[in-house]
Structures are given as C-alpha cells and as structure tokens.
Chains A and B, each alone.
Chain A
Amino acid sequence: CCVVSSCFRAGEEEQQAQSKKALKKQQKEAEKAAKKAEKQAKLVSVRQETPVVFDVFSLRLCLSLSWIEADRPLVRVQDLTPEKAEQQIWVRARIHTSRAKGKQCFLVLRHQQFTVQALLAVGDRASKQMVKFAANLTKESIIDVEAVVKKVEQKIESCSQQDVELHVERIFVISQSEARLPLQLEDAVRPEGEGDEVRKVDLIIINLHRNLNTTTSQAIFRLQSGICQLFRDTLINKGFVEIQTPKIISAASEGGANVFTVSYFKTSAYLAQSPQLYKQMCICADFDKVFCVGPVFRAEDSNTHRHLTEFVGLDIEMAFNYHYHEVMDSITDTMVQIFKGLCDRFQTEIQTVNKQYPSEPFKFLEPTLRLEYKEAVAMLKAAGVEMGDEEDLSTPNEKLLGRLVKEKYDTDFYVLDKYPLAVRPFYTMPDPNNPKYSNSYDMFMRGEEILSGAQRIHDAQLLTERAMHHSIDLEKIKAYIDSFRYGAPPHAGGGIGLERVTMLYLGLHNVRQTSMFPRDPKRLTP
C-alpha cells in the first residue's frame, strides 16, 4: 500500500507541478496576448489619428511604382508661377532642404535648376505626426507632393520660383535617399575659394553622380547640348552631310607618339586621334561638305586645365571652288551662329553658371575678325615680346595676343590666318604667294585655341614631297596618299572640341567642369 500511495503522491505532485507550469504558461500567454492587443489597439488608434501618412504608399513597398496607373499630371517646379495660384496640383521633386519649427515644417523642393518653398503646418489636413514625418525625410529623397499653390507678398529670394510657395496637403516618398551624403550639395554649388581648387575638383568628380545634380552642372550640360545641336543645325542648313567615322584604325593619323594602342584579335590597332583621313576620303568621294561628331582619343601625358585624353570632336571638311577662305568663312559663320543661338536660347543657363562662376559675357564680331600671322607677330613685338617671324605661338603668347585683340577690337573670338609652314602638319597646303607660309588658320576663344585648320594638299605628288620633307615613313601613309590619286577636289576644314568650347564660352577655367565623365592621364572612372 505505501508504494502505491507514494506513487500516487508523486503523480499528484507531478500533476500539481504540471498544472503549475501550465498555469504559468497560460499566464505568460495571457500577458503576451494582452500586450499584443494593446499594441494593436495603439496601432489602430494611431492609424485612426493619422489616416494620411500611413496610406497606401508606405516607405519601402512601392519601389517599382508601376503597380498603380495614376492619371494625375505632375507639374514641374519651373512651371510653378503666380498663374497657378489657388490651384491644387501634384509636384514631384527632390527634397533640397527641410527644417522643422514647432508645428510647421519648411521644405525646399528642387528639380534640375529650379527650387520652390513648401510649407507643411499642423492643421485639419496635416497631423503632428505627419509634420514630424516630413521633417525627418532625408535630403535628396524624391517625393510626390499634393499642394495648393499660394502667391507670396514678399519675394522668396533663396528660391528660383520667387513669387509662389506650396501649402502641402499630402506627401509620398518615391525614392528615399541615404541619410549621409558623400558631398553636401551646398558645398558643391558655393563659389570657389582660395586653396579649394584641387581638392574640390577631385571631390566633385569622385561624387560625380551627385555633382551632376547641382543647378550649375545642369546648366552647363544643357548649354553643351545646345552647342552640339546648333552645330548640327547650322551645318545641315548649309548643305552639309553628317558622317560617322571609325575610331579603331590601323595607322596613327597625326603622329606616332600620342596614340592609344588596343589589342585587335591577333594584332594591335589604334584609337583614332582625329577623323581627318576619313573626312578627306569623303571629300574625294564627292560628298562636298561633311561634318562628324564623335570621340577623339589623344594619349598626351599632359595634366593641364584644357587637355583631356578623350573628348568630343566636332569636325568639318568642305570642298571649295576658288579659295580656301570660302571654307574658313563657312566655319567662322557656323561659330557665330552657335554663339548667337546660345545667347538667344540659353540665357537662363548662362545666368545660372555665372552665379557660381562669374565671368564676362562672351563677345564677338560678325563677320568674324580675321588677322594674319604677321600682324600677330608685330602686335606681340610692339607689346614687348621677343619672338622669331616663323616661330610658333606659345600658350602665354596666345593669351597675350587674345588680350591685345580684345583691347583693340573688343571681341573674344577671332581667326589667325597664314601660319608659317614650318609649324604645321605635313598635309598643309603651302601659301602660293609665299613659300614660308601656309594656307592654314587657328581660331581662338578668350585667347585660347579652339580650332586648328588648313587647306589640305590634294595632290598625291606634292603630298609625297611634303611627307618626305617631314621624314615621315611613306609606307605608313600609303593608303592616305593613294586616296588622292584619282581626282581630288581642293578642300579645307578644321575641328573643335566640344568641352573646350563650352568651357571658354562660359568663361570657366577647367575643362573637367564641362566634361560629364572626364578622362585624363590620372582618371579612368566613373
């Protein structure tokens, strides 16, 4: 009997223990459930209080944005003007700055070069949580905002849209930005101070994708796009044909030293230094007037403010009737049309760039001023420079000459004609009236060279003589010389660099500022 009772007692204890455990378990579960219920209740209450914020568009849910087809039109920041006062509109823009002050949140919204002030205040359309939510949004995040446009009495000087502000009713986040930016945008837009130069340029280029977003960069590259467009339009109107030339070529065109070599299957090839050869072949094929826009590769190990290893070349070649000045005049007229077009249609961009990089507006004469090399030498000598009559112009001399020309004629753009033959490439046509000079010309903007051009030798025999005079291996240029053996019209041409022209037109000082993804001896990415 004792054994049974002890067993029974053990069982009872066990049972008691078990029930205690169960009870504890139950209690724990009850607590859990209670907490959960509380949470739910809170959530529900929060939801009820702020139905606006935690709406369908939650922060991470809608990355693709293509799961709803909304018809609502988005107004651009630049179109927010007093005409839209009292209208309720949707705007998509980036958060430029955000600042909370008590029951209000001030946002500045930005798109491209344009900024507008937006105001979110606690009221019947917005809750306290919503204002807090807006204030905590990270800079550069892209948001959609539903707002009413309101006129302001006092101009908002710090924004581009100075006559209106937005009274925000709803905010949705389209793409959130990380909290810490690699470069503060205000720093990128502030004018340069002393000692900032090198570090700033490097920082800016490393964070290029951020830098491209500044108002100044937007303006610079829009203007650059305009230059390219005006170049094309003007030449097409003059009857030119656009051609595409190969960039992987078998022989270096300008000279052996500054050319990139690439491996080409079992041999090597070169990256084209200029489309010279192919432009001329098109003229020999009777295209009459051609131009091409494409990359140019120069393996020059020079780290200057105006050299890149890869840049965009805008090249022209034209057959003429009697005198190479027909071509030269055509080129200068094209440049003048580009300058006029930029002045007429891109004033906003020019002013935007000037705010950060002040400079004198670009001046020119129509028709373009043409000086001769001898005159330039005389002008420099009168200014105290010692140089030989057939010496090439050094960069400081070019700059000085630019200043002298500016002083006398008040123009930033001019042509220098009749260079000495000795300093030009072998394919330059000599001057028939004076064998020491050539039918070649350079064009300058703000005292820096932007175009080097000439009448080309179109006779195979003369070309061979000149090549031998320059000690060039005839075997290497056999194909080039051959293209003139079967009737070639007299022709001339020249080419400009898009980045350099943009830089000089705007009065900037480093070509890397006008190249979206610059390439130089030390830079290969982005």
Chain B
Amino acid sequence: MDHTRKDDDDDDDMNGEVDPALKALEERQDEVLRRLYEIKATVDGLAKTVSTPDADLDASTLSRGPAESVFRGTADLDSLLGKDLGALRDIVINASPACPPLCLLVLHALLCQRYQVLSSVHVHSSVSAVPPPLLSCLGPRHIDSHARQHFQLGFTLIWKDVSELQMKFNTQSMCPIEGEANVARFLFRLLGAEPQDPVAATQMDCWIDTAVFQLSEGGSKERAAVLRSLNAALGRSAWLLGQEFSLADIVCACYVLRAGQTTSAPVNVQRWLKSCQNLGHFDCVYPLLQ
C-alpha cells in the first residue's frame, strides 16, 4: 500500500514552487529597499561633503571605507629610507599598551592607502596581557602577508613595557627615534605631504609641540588654554594650517581625543573633530578611546 504524505495547507503547491505573484512582490520589495539604502548613502555623503572641506567622497558607493588619500604629493622611498636591498623595509615601533600611539595609527592608515604596507602586531614577553582591541588596531591581516618581499613597507607594532615610545628602522645606520610626535614626523615625511613653505612647516611643528607639551603633559589649566587657542585658530580656517589638512591636525586631534571630555570642548573644536572623523582616517582610533 502506498504511503502518501498529507498535503500541507500552505502556499507551496505539490512541487514545492512558490506562487509567481508572491515571488514578484518579494522582488519588488527587495528592489525598493535597495534603492532606499542607496538614496540614504547618497544623502549621507552629501551631508559630509557639505560639512567637511577637502573631502572627496564618491557619494554613490555603498562602502564605508576611508576617503581617498587627502595627500597627493609623492615621496621617494629609496631616498628617504635607503636603497631597497631585497629585504622588507620594516619600521618597528615599540609602544606601551598603557598609552597607545593614536597619531601613529592614523598615519598607518594613510600609509596603507599610499603604499603596499605589511602590518603586524606583536606582544613582547615583557607584557603579560594586552586587551583585544590593541591586537587588532592595525586592521585585518593582509591576504598576501606570507609573501613579505611583495610589500614596499613593513609596519611592525610591538606592545612592550617601555617608558617612552620608540621606533627602530635601520639599526646599522640610524639610532632609534623616541617619542610619539617625533615618530609621527618621520612617518609623515614618507607620505610626501610636508608643507614646502617654511612658515607653514614651522607652524605645523609649533602645533605639534603644543599638543605634546601642553595638551598631554600639562595640567588642566594648560589644557584649557590650548583648547581656547585651537578654537580661535579653527574659527579662521577649516584646518589648523589653513585649507590643507596636515600632521598638525592629526596630532592635535588625537591628543584632544585622548584627553577626553570632547563634548565640553569649544564649538569650533567640536566641528573640527567631526570633520576629522568624517575623513575616515580616524576610524581606527575611536575603538581605543573607551
């Protein structure tokens, strides 16, 4: 005797096919939702373009990646770092996990846009445990990371028990560079975006020193004074050096963010911080601020 299954009382017919009318309705719904998302992204992009000078977003793309590099200069790695002898030119940075170098993470993101960079994060045996966000702060591992010689630059971040941040590159011909700001200056040079005008260059250095000595090492009075002068400068132009985004903005923004209490910062400073965030290069910094 044949054993037949009882028919279920639903939309499927005997062969399990969906009613074509229902299918068409589902497809229309998907299409409408997709167009809604596209419009939303376009509006978001436009909003950012309006409020952020110098950003060059392709508003119709759905991805949320960082903007195209804001720096369009060129740099000759061979002249800056020495001739490529077939070894990966590996920049080694030793930093304490108690004080993550936020500016260097931003610069790393900028370097990755310009060059083929092999990034890796290690934990030194002098440190017992490092919170997971610090282990993934340089982004996901590159697919080709097993072929080291295909990369133009190496960026090796080692979380280590050091009193001061330290960078080593060519131990035979270069002494180590100490201090987050100094390493930031070195890395900025690799982007070929240093201001050519000596006055602008001096102003940039001045802002960087202000950030290092007064924002981070100063007391609360000094910090308030710096925020006031930042506010004044940013009232006159979009970025600290005028119309061009520069290292001064990177360093100052990172130090302001690290000091905390950004919601109580002056108006221009808050607007400027939002612009920095909109550029996308600071995405790596925010997870570490908690």
Q: In the complex, identify which listed stretch (A131-139, A161-169, A401-409, A490-498) lies at the interface while the others stay far away.
A: A401-409
B147 with A366: CB separation less than 8 A: no
B34 at the interface (CB under 8 A from A): no
B172 contact set on A, CB distance < 8 A: 382-383, 404
- A355-398 residues at the B interface, CB under 8 angstroms: 362-367, 369-372, 374-379, 381-383
A365 with B146: CB separation less than 8 A: no
Number of A interface residues in the complex (CB < 8 A)? 31
A365 with B171: CB separation less than 8 A: no
What distance in Å separates the Cβ of A289 from its nearest Cβ neighbour in chain B? 21
What distance in Å separates the Cβ of A460 from its nearest Cβ neighbour in chain B? 27
In the complex, what distance in Å separates the CA atom of A370 from the CA atom of B85? 18
B125 contact set on A, CB distance < 8 A: 339-340, 343, 362-366
B146 with A404: CB separation less than 8 A: no
In the complex, what distance in Å separates the CA atom of A383 from the CA atom of B120? 25
- B118-166 residues at the A interface, CB under 8 angstroms: 120, 122-126, 146-149, 156, 158, 160
In the complex, what distance in Å separates the CA atom of A298 from the CA atom of B123? 37
In the complex, what distance in Å separates the CA atom of A379 from the CA atom of B172? 9
* A-B contacts, CB under 8 A, total: 66
B92 at the interface (CB under 8 A from A): yes
B268 at the interface (CB under 8 A from A): no
In the complex, what distance in Å separates the CA atom of A363 from the CA atom of B88? 23
Output the nearest chain B residue to A368 by Cβ-Cβ distance: B122
A410 at the interface (CB under 8 A from B): yes
A382 contact set on B, CB distance < 8 A: 85, 87, 170, 172
A155 at the interface (CB under 8 A from B): no
What distance in Å separates the Cβ of A411 from its nearest Cβ neighbour in chain B? 8
In the complex, what distance in Å separates the CA atom of A439 from the CA atom of B229? 58
B147 with A433: CB separation less than 8 A: yes
B126 with A325: CB separation less than 8 A: no
B124 with A365: CB separation less than 8 A: yes
Output the nearest chain B residue to A365 by Cβ-Cβ distance: B122
Output the nearest chain A residue to B169 by Cβ-Cβ distance: A408
Output the nearest chain B residue to A433 by Cβ-Cβ distance: B147
Known: A363-B124, A365-B125. A377 touches B146 (CB 8 A): no
Output the nearest chain B residue to A376 by Cβ-Cβ distance: B87
B126 contact set on A, CB distance < 8 A: 363
B148 with A372: CB separation less than 8 A: yes
In the complex, what distance in Å separates the CA atom of A343 from the CA atom of B171? 29
**Most-contacted residue by chain A among B88, B92, B171 (CB, 10 A):** B171
B147 contact set on A, CB distance < 8 A: 433
B48 at the interface (CB under 8 A from A): no
B160 contact set on A, CB distance < 8 A: 410
B87 with A409: CB separation less than 8 A: no
A364 contact set on B, CB distance < 8 A: 124-125
A25 contact set on B, CB distance < 8 A: none
B149 with A365: CB separation less than 8 A: no
B228 contact set on A, CB distance < 8 A: none
- B226-278 residues at the A interface, CB under 8 angstroms: none
What distance in Å separates the Cβ of A420 from its nearest Cβ neighbour in chain B? 13
In the complex, what distance in Å separates the CA atom of A378 from the CA atom of B125? 27
Interface string of A226-251 (1 = CB under 8 A from B): 00000000000000000000000000
B122 with A369: CB separation less than 8 A: yes
Cβ 8 A contact of A410, one of B88, B123, B124:
B124
B94 at the interface (CB under 8 A from A): yes
A323 at the interface (CB under 8 A from B): yes
Cβ 8 A contact of A378, one of B87, B122, B124:
B87
A323 with B146: CB separation less than 8 A: yes
What distance in Å separates the Cβ of B63 from its nearest Cβ neighbour in chain A? 28
What distance in Å separates the Cβ of A347 from its nearest Cβ neighbour in chain B? 13
What distance in Å separates the Cβ of B237 from its nearest Cβ neighbour in chain A? 41
B86 at the interface (CB under 8 A from A): yes
In the complex, what distance in Å separates the CA atom of A421 from the CA atom of B94? 35
B122 with A366: CB separation less than 8 A: yes
In the complex, what distance in Å separates the CA atom of A365 from the CA atom of B94? 12
Interface string of B87-98 (1 = CB under 8 A from A): 110101010000
A407 with B122: CB separation less than 8 A: no
B223 at the interface (CB under 8 A from A): no
Interface string of A104-122 (1 = CB under 8 A from B): 0000000000000000000
- A417-436 residues at the B interface, CB under 8 angstroms: 433
B185 at the interface (CB under 8 A from A): no
Cβ 8 A contact of A366, one of B123, B148, B156, B171:
B123
A340 contact set on B, CB distance < 8 A: 125
What distance in Å separates the Cβ of A119 from its nearest Cβ neighbour in chain B? 42
Output the nearest chain B residue to A375 by Cβ-Cβ distance: B87
In the complex, what distance in Å separates the CA atom of A366 from the CA atom of B124? 6
- B33-77 residues at the A interface, CB under 8 angstroms: none
A407 contact set on B, CB distance < 8 A: 168, 171
A365 with B86: CB separation less than 8 A: no
In the complex, what distance in Å separates the CA atom of A325 from the CA atom of B156? 19
- A480-516 residues at the B interface, CB under 8 angstroms: none
Cβ 8 A contact of B149, one of A325, A343, A362, A372:
A372
A381 with B123: CB separation less than 8 A: no
B158 contact set on A, CB distance < 8 A: 365, 409-410
Known: A374-B149, A408-B168. A379 touches B122 (CB 8 A): no
In the complex, what distance in Å separates the CA atom of A398 from the CA atom of B205? 43
Output the nearest chain B residue to A325 by Cβ-Cβ distance: B146
In the complex, what distance in Å separates the CA atom of A374 from the CA atom of B125? 27
In the complex, what distance in Å separates the CA atom of A371 from the CA atom of B156? 12
A365 contact set on B, CB distance < 8 A: 122-125, 158
**Most-contacted residue by chain B among A366, A379, A411 (CB, 10 A):** A366
In the complex, what distance in Å separates the CA atom of A409 from the CA atom of B122? 10
Interface string of A259-285 (1 = CB under 8 A from B): 000000000000000000000000000
- A325-350 residues at the B interface, CB under 8 angstroms: 325, 339-340, 343
A378 contact set on B, CB distance < 8 A: 85-87
What distance in Å separates the Cβ of B264 from its nearest Cβ neighbour in chain A? 40
A379 with B87: CB separation less than 8 A: yes
What distance in Å separates the Cβ of A470 from its nearest Cβ neighbour in chain B? 27
A381 contact set on B, CB distance < 8 A: 85
What distance in Å separates the Cβ of A108 from its nearest Cβ neighbour in chain B? 36
A325 contact set on B, CB distance < 8 A: 146
In the complex, what distance in Å separates the CA atom of A375 from the CA atom of B149? 8
B170 contact set on A, CB distance < 8 A: 382
A-B contact pairs, 24 of them (CB 8 A): A339-B125, A363-B125, A365-B125, A365-B158, A366-B122, A369-B122, A370-B148, A372-B148, A374-B87, A374-B149, A376-B87, A377-B87, A378-B87, A382-B170, A382-B172, A404-B171, A407-B171, A408-B92, A408-B168, A409-B156, A409-B158, A409-B168, A410-B94, A411-B124
Please name the 4 residue pairs, one residue from A and one from B, whose CB atoms are nearest each other, closest first.
A378-B87, A375-B87, A365-B122, A378-B85
**Chain A residues close to B by CB (< 8 Å):** 323, 325, 339-340, 343, 362-367, 369-372, 374-379, 381-383, 404, 407-411, 433
